[in-house]
C-alpha cells in the first residue's frame, strides 16, 4: 500500500518549514534566533499562553564582533499559504494630514534609554518610501474564497507580544550597568509565501465587475506596512503588563542619566526632546497615543523578499546609530 502524500501539504500548512527557512535566513545574517517566543494573554478571566514563531536579536555594528553599539529585537510570525492564495490590501484612503500612519512608528526606537546620540530622522526618511495598507484579505484564485482570518491572527500574535519586548528593552538598560547600555530597536514582521498586492487607488465595485483578472485591480509589492487599530482588549493587556512600571523605575540612577543626556539633545527652537522618564509614565498609563506609537504598525513581507527587507533595515539602523 503506497504512502499517502497528504503529510506533505499538511506539514507545509503548519508553517514549520517556512519558520525554519526564515530562521536560517536570520541566522545567516548573524541574528541570534529562537523559536516559539511565549507570552501570557488574558482570555476571559484566565491567563493563557500564546506565542510568536520567531524571536531574534542582532547586535551592531555590522562589521565588528568585539563591541556592541546598539541592538535590534525582531519578532516574526510566519504564515504558509497554498500557491493559489494571494493577499490583497487596501491603500491608505486618508489625506496626508488625516492618515493613521506615522513615520518612525514601524521601526521602533527606544534609543532615549541610553546615553548615545542617534539620528532617528533617518528612520522616518526610510519609512516615507514604504507602501502603507489599512486592511487586507486573502483571495483563493481557484475556488474564490475570500477571508482575512490568518492575516488578522498573525498581526494579533505580534502585537500582543510586543509590550513584553518594549518592557524588557527598557528594563535591561535602566537596571543594567550604565557603561553597557546601548540604543535598542524593535520590529515586528509577518512573513508569508503568498504574493502581496496593494489595490489601486481607483479600486471600486464597478472595476471589480468589469475586471477579467484580479491582478488588473492591484500592484504587486515586496513588502508593506500594515496598520492595526488599538482596541480595548489590547489596552487592558498593556495595562496589566506595565502596572507599576514607572514607580519601579523612577528612582533608578540610569534613568536619571538618560534624562540628563537626552535633554542636551533638545530641539534648539522648540525645546523638546525624547524624555525617558516621561516615556515610562506614558507606558504605565497606556495612553492611546502611546500605544499607537509602539504597537499599531507592522511589516508584512513576502518570503522571497524577506532577506532584502532585513538587509535594508540593518543598513538603516547601522547609519542611525553612528
Q: Give per-residue pLDDT as tens, 105-142.
A: 999 999 999 999 999 999 999 999 999 998 999 998 88
- Cα distance between residue 77 and residue 17, in whole Å: 13
Integer angstrom CA distances of residue 44 from 38, 41, 168, 230? 19, 10, 26, 19
- Cα distance between residue 136 and residue 90, in whole Å: 6
Provide Rg for the chain, Cα atoms: 21
Task: Give the torsion sign (CA, 157, 159, 160, 165).
Answer: positive
How many Cβ atoms are within 10 Å of 32's Cβ, its own excluded?
A: 11
The β-bridge partners of 90 are: 135
Which SS3 state, helix, strand or coil, does residue 79 take?
A: strand
Which SS3 state, helix, strand or coil, does residue 203 take?
A: coil
Model confidence pLDDT, tens digit, residues 228-259: 999 999 999 999 999 999 988 988 999 999 99
| Helix or strand holding residue 185 (H, E) | strand 184-192
Inter-residue contact 119 to 238 (CB < 8 Å) = no
Pairing relation of β-strands 184-192 and 70-79? Answer: parallel
Q: Kindly report the pTM of this predicted structure.
A: 0.92
- Per domain, the residue ranges of the chain are 6-321
How many Cβ atoms are within 10 Å of 237's Cβ, its own excluded?
A: 21
Residue 226 CA to chain centroid, in angstroms? 9
Integer angstrom CA distances of residue 301 from 58, 220, 290, 315, 317? 19, 12, 25, 18, 19
- Structure confidence at residue 66 (pLDDT): 62
Pairing relation of β-strands 223-227 and 132-140? Answer: parallel
Pick from 271, 275, 281: nearest CA to 249: 281
- Structure confidence at residue 1 (pLDDT): 43
Inter-residue contact 127 to 298 (CB < 8 Å) = no
Integer angstrom CA distances of residue 49 from 32, 37, 188, 234? 23, 10, 19, 15
- What are the 10-residue block averages of pLDDT along the chain, 322 residues in total? 69 86 96 93 83 94 71 96 91 83 94 93 95 91 86 94 96 92 96 94 88 88 96 94 91 93 86 92 95 96 97 95 80
- Cα distance between residue 310 and residue 189, in whole Å: 10
Residue with cell 514563531: 53
Cell triple for 19: 519558520
The β-bridge partners of 133 are: 91, 226
- Structure confidence at residue 4 (pLDDT): 61
Amino acid at each position: 500500500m503506497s504512502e499517502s502524500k497528504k503529510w506533505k501539504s499538511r506539514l507545509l500548512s503548519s508553517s514549520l518549514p517556512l519558520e525554519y527557512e526564515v530562521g536560517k535566513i536570520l541566522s545567516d545574517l548573524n541574528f541570534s534566533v529562537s523559536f516559539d517566543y511565549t507570552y501570557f494573554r488574558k482570555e476571559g478571566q484566565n491567563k493563557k499562553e500564546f506565542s510568536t514563531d520567531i524571536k531574534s536579536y542582532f547586535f551592531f555594528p555590522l562589521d565588528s564582533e568585539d563591541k556592541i553599539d546598539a541592538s535590534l529585537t525582531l519578532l516574526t510570525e510566519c504564515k504558509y499559504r497554498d500557491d493559489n492564495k494571494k493577499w490583497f490590501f487596501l491603500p491608505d484612503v486618508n489625506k496626508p494630514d488625516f492618515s493613521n500612519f506615522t513615520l518612525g512608528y514601524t521601526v521602533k526606537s527606544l534609543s532615549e534609554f541610553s546615553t548615545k546620540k542617534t539620528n532617528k530622522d533617518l528612520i522616518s526618511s526610510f519609512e516615507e518610501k514604504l507602501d502603507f495598507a489599512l486592511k487586507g484579505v486573502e483571495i483563493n484564485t481557484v475556488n474564490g474564497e475570500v477571508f482575512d482570518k490568518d492575516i488578522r491572527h498573525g498581526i494579533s500574535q505580534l502585537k500582543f507580544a510586543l509590550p513584553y519586548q518594549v518592557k524588557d528593552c527598557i528594563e535591561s538598560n535602566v537596571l543594567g550597568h550604565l557603561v553597557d547600555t546601548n540604543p535598542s530597536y524593535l520590529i515586528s514582521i509577518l512573513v508569508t509565501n503568498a504574493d502581496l498586492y496593494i489595490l489601486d487607488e481607483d479600486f471600486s465595485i464597478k472595476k471589480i465587475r468589469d475586471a477579467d483578472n484580479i491582478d488588473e485591480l492591484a500592484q504587486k509589492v515586496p513588502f508593506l506596512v500594515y496598520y492595526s487599530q488599538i482596541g480595548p482588549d489590547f489596552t487592558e493587556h498593556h495595562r496589566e503588563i506595565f502596572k507599576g512600571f514607572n514607580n519601579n523605575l523612577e528612582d533608578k540612577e540610569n534613568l536619571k542619566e538618560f534624562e540628563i543626556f537626552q535633554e542636551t539633545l533638545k530641539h534648539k527652537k522648540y525645546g523638546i526632546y525624547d524624555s525617558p522618564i516621561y516615556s515610562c509614565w506614558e507606558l504605565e498609563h497606556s495612553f492611546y497615543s502611546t500605544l499607537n506609537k509602539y504597537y499599531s504598525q507592522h511589516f508584512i513581507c513576502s518570503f522571497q523578499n524577506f532577506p532584502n527587507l532585513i538587509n535594508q533595515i540593518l543598513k538603516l539602523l547601522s547609519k542611525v546609530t553612528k
